[in-house]
Amino acid sequence: MTTSKVNVAEFKAHVSTYLRRVAAGETVTVCRRNVPVAELRPIAQPAPKKRVFRDLYPGWEIPDSFFDPLPDDILDAFEGRDPNDPLREFMETDL
């Protein structure tokens, strides 16, 4: 981890550059007349949480496969393209 010192005028002129450096892990000390007044350092990002049915079923987790695309036959049924659907004839008629 590296640390940089920069005066206010330089910091104001290149804020985006210094923020990118901080996001990359660097600490930047902002000075006024070479006296440190602020320190910018990266914030630790929390690890992503797994989705859990905490309220209804404590300890149950949604498996990663839950987010996989549905098979074509199930998609067809949801989208009204199932040839064996008994309501298909009704859905195709004009009311």
What would the pLDDT profile of 27-57 be if each residue is shown by its tens digit?
999 999 999 999 999 998 887 776 656 667 7
pLDDT one-digit tens code per residue, 56-86:
777 777 788 888 998 988 888 888 777 777 7
CA–CA separation, 13 and 67 (whole Å): 45
94, two tokens: 């004009």
- φ, ψ of residue 66 in degrees (nearest 5): -60, -30
Question: Hunting for tokens 């910018």 — which residue is that?
Answer: 40
The model scores a pTM over 0.75: no
Fold (topology level) of 3-40: YefM-like fold (3.40.1620)
CA–CA separation, 67 and 63 (whole Å): 8
Sequence-ordered list of residues with C-beta below 8 angstroms from that of 31, at least 6 positions apart, any chain:
5, 6, 7, 8, 37
